[in-house]
Amino acid sequence: MLDLGGQGLIYLDTVVPMKLIDRIKSDYKAAHSGYCTTFEATAAVLWRCRRRAIIGDDPDGYDMSTPAPLAFFVNVRKHVGTAAGYYGNCAVAQLAFATTGEVAGAGDEGMNGLVDLIKRAKDGVPGLLRGMRAGGSAVDGMGEEEIAAAFGYNALMVTCWRTIRFDDADFGGGGPARVVGRWQQTTLPCVALVSCGATGERLLTQCVRAEHAAALLAELDQRTRLA
Protein backbone atom coordinates (compact mmCIF):
# COMPACT_ATOMS: atom_id res chain seq x y z
CA MET A 1 0.00 0.00 0.00
CA LEU A 2 1.41 3.40 -0.95
CA ASP A 3 1.35 6.09 1.70
CA LEU A 4 0.50 9.01 -0.59
CA GLY A 5 0.05 11.65 2.09
CA GLY A 6 -0.50 15.29 1.14
CA GLN A 7 1.56 16.71 -1.70
CA GLY A 8 1.06 20.39 -0.86
CA LEU A 9 0.07 21.14 -4.47
CA ILE A 10 -1.15 24.63 -5.32
CA TYR A 11 -3.76 25.82 -7.81
CA LEU A 12 -2.68 27.64 -10.98
CA ASP A 13 -4.92 28.90 -13.79
CA THR A 14 -2.82 29.52 -16.88
CA VAL A 15 -2.75 29.39 -20.69
CA VAL A 16 -0.46 27.62 -23.14
CA PRO A 17 -0.39 30.19 -25.99
CA MET A 18 -1.55 29.07 -29.44
CA LYS A 19 1.73 30.39 -30.85
CA LEU A 20 3.60 27.73 -28.88
CA ILE A 21 1.11 24.95 -29.68
CA ASP A 22 1.30 25.74 -33.41
CA ARG A 23 5.10 25.71 -33.31
CA ILE A 24 5.17 22.25 -31.71
CA LYS A 25 2.70 20.96 -34.31
CA SER A 26 4.73 22.49 -37.15
CA ASP A 27 8.02 21.04 -35.88
CA TYR A 28 6.47 17.60 -35.54
CA LYS A 29 5.02 17.67 -39.04
CA ALA A 30 8.35 18.79 -40.50
CA ALA A 31 10.23 15.98 -38.73
CA HIS A 32 7.74 13.13 -39.15
CA SER A 33 5.30 14.20 -41.88
CA GLY A 34 2.64 13.35 -39.32
CA TYR A 35 -0.03 15.17 -37.36
CA CYS A 36 0.34 16.30 -33.76
CA THR A 37 -2.92 17.08 -31.96
CA THR A 38 -3.50 20.11 -29.75
CA PHE A 39 -3.77 17.78 -26.76
CA GLU A 40 -0.45 16.09 -27.58
CA ALA A 41 1.33 19.42 -28.05
CA THR A 42 -0.08 20.88 -24.83
CA ALA A 43 0.61 17.76 -22.75
CA ALA A 44 4.16 17.49 -24.11
CA VAL A 45 5.14 21.08 -23.35
CA LEU A 46 3.58 20.99 -19.89
CA TRP A 47 5.29 17.65 -19.15
CA ARG A 48 8.67 19.15 -20.05
CA CYS A 49 8.22 22.56 -18.43
CA ARG A 50 7.02 21.04 -15.16
CA ARG A 51 9.93 18.61 -15.02
CA ARG A 52 12.46 21.40 -15.69
CA ALA A 53 10.82 23.57 -13.04
CA ILE A 54 11.19 20.80 -10.47
CA ILE A 55 14.82 20.12 -11.39
CA GLY A 56 15.64 23.80 -11.03
CA ASP A 57 19.01 25.41 -11.65
CA ASP A 58 21.09 22.42 -10.55
CA PRO A 59 20.46 19.53 -12.99
CA ASP A 60 23.77 17.92 -12.00
CA GLY A 61 22.39 17.43 -8.51
CA TYR A 62 19.27 15.64 -9.76
CA ASP A 63 19.01 11.95 -10.68
CA MET A 64 18.07 12.08 -14.37
CA SER A 65 17.25 8.35 -14.40
CA THR A 66 14.29 8.88 -12.06
CA PRO A 67 10.96 7.86 -13.69
CA ALA A 68 8.75 10.83 -14.61
CA PRO A 69 5.55 9.32 -16.07
CA LEU A 70 2.68 11.09 -17.77
CA ALA A 71 -0.84 9.73 -17.21
CA PHE A 72 -3.81 10.78 -19.31
CA PHE A 73 -7.36 9.67 -19.96
CA VAL A 74 -8.22 8.12 -23.33
CA ASN A 75 -11.68 7.92 -24.89
CA VAL A 76 -12.13 4.21 -25.71
CA ARG A 77 -15.58 4.23 -27.30
CA LYS A 78 -14.23 3.13 -30.68
CA HIS A 79 -12.33 0.28 -29.03
CA VAL A 80 -15.24 -1.21 -27.08
CA GLY A 81 -17.99 -0.87 -29.68
CA THR A 82 -20.33 1.61 -28.02
CA ALA A 83 -23.52 2.32 -29.93
CA ALA A 84 -23.96 5.65 -31.71
CA GLY A 85 -25.37 8.21 -29.32
CA TYR A 86 -24.15 6.44 -26.18
CA TYR A 87 -23.82 9.03 -23.43
CA GLY A 88 -21.63 8.16 -20.49
CA ASN A 89 -18.10 7.62 -19.32
CA CYS A 90 -16.05 5.34 -21.52
CA ALA A 91 -12.41 6.07 -20.78
CA VAL A 92 -9.27 4.53 -19.34
CA ALA A 93 -6.12 6.06 -17.90
CA GLN A 94 -2.98 5.31 -19.88
CA LEU A 95 0.66 5.89 -18.92
CA ALA A 96 3.57 7.20 -20.96
CA PHE A 97 6.83 6.33 -19.21
CA ALA A 98 10.08 8.27 -19.54
CA THR A 99 13.02 9.21 -17.36
CA THR A 100 13.50 12.67 -15.93
CA GLY A 101 16.34 13.22 -18.40
CA GLU A 102 14.17 12.32 -21.39
CA VAL A 103 11.34 14.57 -20.27
CA ALA A 104 13.58 17.50 -19.35
CA GLY A 105 15.27 17.32 -22.73
CA ALA A 106 18.68 15.69 -22.36
CA GLY A 107 19.77 15.12 -25.96
CA ASP A 108 16.97 17.50 -26.88
CA GLU A 109 15.07 16.98 -30.14
CA GLY A 110 12.47 19.60 -29.31
CA MET A 111 9.09 18.29 -28.26
CA ASN A 112 8.98 15.58 -30.93
CA GLY A 113 10.28 12.84 -28.65
CA LEU A 114 7.63 13.54 -26.01
CA VAL A 115 4.86 13.71 -28.61
CA ASP A 116 6.01 10.31 -29.89
CA LEU A 117 5.86 8.87 -26.36
CA ILE A 118 2.29 10.12 -25.97
CA LYS A 119 1.31 8.69 -29.36
CA ARG A 120 2.84 5.30 -28.53
CA ALA A 121 0.92 5.23 -25.24
CA LYS A 122 -2.29 5.94 -27.18
CA ASP A 123 -1.46 3.13 -29.61
CA GLY A 124 -1.08 0.79 -26.64
CA VAL A 125 -4.68 1.25 -25.48
CA PRO A 126 -6.11 -1.77 -27.39
CA GLY A 127 -3.52 -4.01 -25.73
CA LEU A 128 -4.35 -2.49 -22.34
CA LEU A 129 -8.04 -3.25 -22.87
CA ARG A 130 -7.31 -6.83 -23.94
CA GLY A 131 -5.31 -7.31 -20.77
CA MET A 132 -8.13 -5.90 -18.65
CA ARG A 133 -10.65 -8.22 -20.29
CA ALA A 134 -8.38 -11.11 -19.34
CA GLY A 135 -8.38 -10.00 -15.72
CA GLY A 136 -5.26 -7.85 -15.77
CA SER A 137 -4.77 -4.25 -14.69
CA ALA A 138 -3.10 -1.07 -15.89
CA VAL A 139 -0.04 -1.72 -13.71
CA ASP A 140 0.68 -5.24 -14.96
CA GLY A 141 4.33 -5.55 -15.95
CA MET A 142 5.36 -2.46 -13.99
CA GLY A 143 8.08 -2.67 -11.37
CA GLU A 144 7.81 -1.35 -7.83
CA GLU A 145 9.73 1.83 -8.70
CA GLU A 146 7.47 2.53 -11.70
CA ILE A 147 4.29 1.98 -9.67
CA ALA A 148 5.54 4.30 -6.93
CA ALA A 149 6.47 6.93 -9.55
CA ALA A 150 3.02 6.73 -11.16
CA PHE A 151 1.41 7.81 -7.88
CA GLY A 152 3.99 10.31 -6.65
CA TYR A 153 5.15 13.88 -7.23
CA ASN A 154 7.21 12.87 -10.27
CA ALA A 155 4.03 11.88 -12.12
CA LEU A 156 1.70 14.19 -14.03
CA MET A 157 -1.96 13.43 -14.76
CA VAL A 158 -3.60 15.28 -17.67
CA THR A 159 -7.27 15.21 -18.60
CA CYS A 160 -9.14 17.11 -21.31
CA TRP A 161 -12.50 18.71 -20.57
CA ARG A 162 -12.89 20.36 -23.97
CA THR A 163 -15.27 17.80 -25.46
CA ILE A 164 -17.53 18.04 -22.40
CA ARG A 165 -18.19 21.60 -23.64
CA PHE A 166 -18.64 23.33 -20.31
CA ASP A 167 -18.15 26.64 -22.13
CA ASP A 168 -21.32 25.98 -24.16
CA ALA A 169 -23.61 25.59 -21.14
CA ASP A 170 -26.45 28.13 -21.13
CA PHE A 171 -29.31 27.94 -18.65
CA GLY A 172 -31.00 31.08 -19.93
CA GLY A 173 -28.58 33.76 -18.81
CA GLY A 174 -25.89 33.24 -21.41
CA GLY A 175 -22.74 31.15 -21.42
CA PRO A 176 -20.27 31.05 -18.53
CA ALA A 177 -17.79 33.88 -18.21
CA ARG A 178 -15.19 31.43 -16.94
CA VAL A 179 -15.12 27.71 -16.18
CA VAL A 180 -13.32 26.70 -13.00
CA GLY A 181 -13.10 23.50 -11.03
CA ARG A 182 -13.93 22.82 -7.40
CA TRP A 183 -10.43 21.92 -6.34
CA GLN A 184 -9.61 19.90 -3.28
CA GLN A 185 -6.21 18.79 -2.05
CA THR A 186 -5.05 15.93 -4.24
CA THR A 187 -2.19 13.48 -3.92
CA LEU A 188 -1.56 13.24 -7.67
CA PRO A 189 -0.30 16.25 -9.66
CA CYS A 190 -3.03 16.95 -12.19
CA VAL A 191 -4.01 19.27 -15.03
CA ALA A 192 -7.34 19.83 -16.80
CA LEU A 193 -7.40 21.25 -20.34
CA VAL A 194 -10.54 23.37 -20.22
CA SER A 195 -10.92 25.21 -23.51
CA CYS A 196 -8.96 26.12 -26.60
CA GLY A 197 -9.55 29.53 -28.14
CA ALA A 198 -7.68 32.04 -30.25
CA THR A 199 -5.31 32.83 -27.39
CA GLY A 200 -4.43 29.23 -26.58
CA GLU A 201 -5.24 26.23 -24.40
CA ARG A 202 -6.52 27.21 -20.97
CA LEU A 203 -5.36 24.99 -18.11
CA LEU A 204 -6.55 24.45 -14.58
CA THR A 205 -3.63 22.92 -12.74
CA GLN A 206 -2.77 21.52 -9.36
CA CYS A 207 0.54 20.03 -10.39
CA VAL A 208 3.37 21.76 -8.50
CA ARG A 209 4.24 22.75 -4.97
CA ALA A 210 4.58 26.42 -4.12
CA GLU A 211 8.37 26.36 -4.45
CA HIS A 212 8.11 25.25 -8.11
CA ALA A 213 5.19 27.43 -9.27
CA ALA A 214 7.17 30.47 -10.41
CA ALA A 215 9.68 28.26 -12.24
CA LEU A 216 6.87 26.44 -14.09
CA LEU A 217 5.34 29.70 -15.31
CA ALA A 218 8.80 30.97 -16.28
CA GLU A 219 9.48 27.80 -18.31
CA LEU A 220 6.20 28.18 -20.18
CA ASP A 221 6.96 31.85 -20.84
CA GLN A 222 10.45 31.03 -22.12
CA ARG A 223 9.11 28.32 -24.45
CA THR A 224 6.57 30.78 -25.83
CA ARG A 225 9.18 33.47 -26.48
CA LEU A 226 11.33 30.95 -28.36
CA ALA A 227 8.42 29.69 -30.48
Confidence of residue 165 (pLDDT cuts 50, 70, 90): confident
Asked if residue 2 is part of any domain, the answer here is no
Ranges 26-40, 42-56, 60-74, 162-176: which has the least confidence:
162-176
Give me the CATH number covering residue 91: 3.30.559.10
Read off the pLDDT of each residue in 54-80 and give the average, rounded to a whole number. Answer: 86
Asked if residue 162 is part of any domain, the answer here is yes
Query: Mind listing the pLDDT tens digit for each residue in 10-45?
Result: 889 899 999 999 999 999 999 988 999 999 999 999
Structural domain that includes position 66: 9-167+179-226
Mean pLDDT of the chain: 83
Confidence of residue 5 (pLDDT cuts 50, 70, 90): very low
pLDDT surpassing 90 at residue 173: no
Contact status, residue 149 vs residue 67, Cβ threshold 8 Å: yes
Query: Mind listing the pLDDT tens digit for each residue in 90-120?
Result: 888 889 999 999 999 855 567 999 999 999 9
Asked if residue 45 is part of any domain, the answer here is yes
pLDDT surpassing 90 at residue 140: no
The pLDDT assigned to 190 comes to 85
Asked if residue 173 is part of any domain, the answer here is no
The pLDDT assigned to 151 comes to 80
Q: What's the predicted TM-score (pTM) here? A: 0.85
Residue 160: is it exposed, middle or buried by C-beta count within 10 angstroms (0-12/13-18/19+)? buried
- Structure-model confidence comparison of residues 182 and 193, the more confident one: 193
Q: Give the SS3 label for residue 177.
A: coil
Share of the chain above pLDDT 90, in %: 39
pLDDT surpassing 80 at residue 227: no
Asked if residue 1 is part of any domain, the answer here is no
Structural domain total, the chain: 1
Confidence of residue 88 (pLDDT cuts 50, 70, 90): low
- Structure-model confidence comparison of residues 40 and 161, the more confident one: 40
- Structure-model confidence comparison of residues 197 and 101, the more confident one: 101
Contact status, residue 10 vs residue 214, Cβ threshold 8 Å: no
d(CA 197, CA 184): 27
d(CA 130, CA 134): 6
Using the 8-state DSSP alphabet, how is residue 86 labeled?
-
Asked if residue 172 is part of any domain, the answer here is no
Asked if residue 4 is part of any domain, the answer here is no
The pLDDT assigned to 175 comes to 77
